[in-house]
Amino acid sequence: MTPSRGPSRGTNMPRSRMRPVKSVGLVAAMVVGLLGGVAATPSAAASWECDQSITVPKGDAYLIHVPFEFEPIYTGDCFVRHGARGGEVSAIQRSLRYCYGRDIVVDGVFGDKTLAALKNVQSRIGVASDGVYGPRTRDAMSWPRYHESTGQIYGCVRW
């Protein structure tokens, strides 16, 4: 086989070998670009949306419920925003209502009242008052502590 000149001058590599090399380089550049873009964002640590709540043991026979991400990964470093619905929102609403005295309904819907209550509490606990629940808000908030067998609330504790 006689080497032919590829797209760049002076290259004596057969054309059929140039294409795969270029393809691999292009794919690698795209992957690095995508991953670099995710890692460069300030909220990369909380780039997953919480999709439900999890029960966490807190002391002998006591539990707390906090938002959590189960799919596609298993992490508590997730976020919840205005418009979300589900158990993750109910966990936040219970904290806002029972630990911070906010007058909201625990209905699992992150609406305007939940947004206003969360911003108020974020301001009180010293985190960015942006109305978005994330790891910093989770770590600074207190959560209702439930008795395992009765479900009764016994004060509030930090994560």
Q: Does the pTM exceed 0.75?
A: no
Structure tokens at 81: 């925003």
Q: Is 16 in the same domain as 64?
A: no
The range of the structural domain enclosing residue 154 comes to 44-158
Q: Is 117 in the same domain as 134?
A: yes
pLDDT tens-place string over residues 47-78: 789 999 999 998 888 999 999 988 877 888 99
Q: Is 30 in the same domain as 62?
A: no
Q: Is 84 in the same domain as 130?
A: yes
Enumerate the H helices of the chain as residue ranges: 15-40, 87-94, 112-125, 135-140
Mean pLDDT across 127-135: 96
Q: Is 35 in the same domain as 62?
A: no
| Structural domain total, the chain | 2
Q: Is 33 in the same domain as 76?
A: no
pLDDT tens-place string over residues 79-97: 999 999 999 999 999 999 9
Q: What is the mean pLDDT of the chain?
A: 79
Task: Give the model's pLDDT for residue 46.
Answer: 52
Whether the pLDDT of residue 14 is over 90: the answer is: no
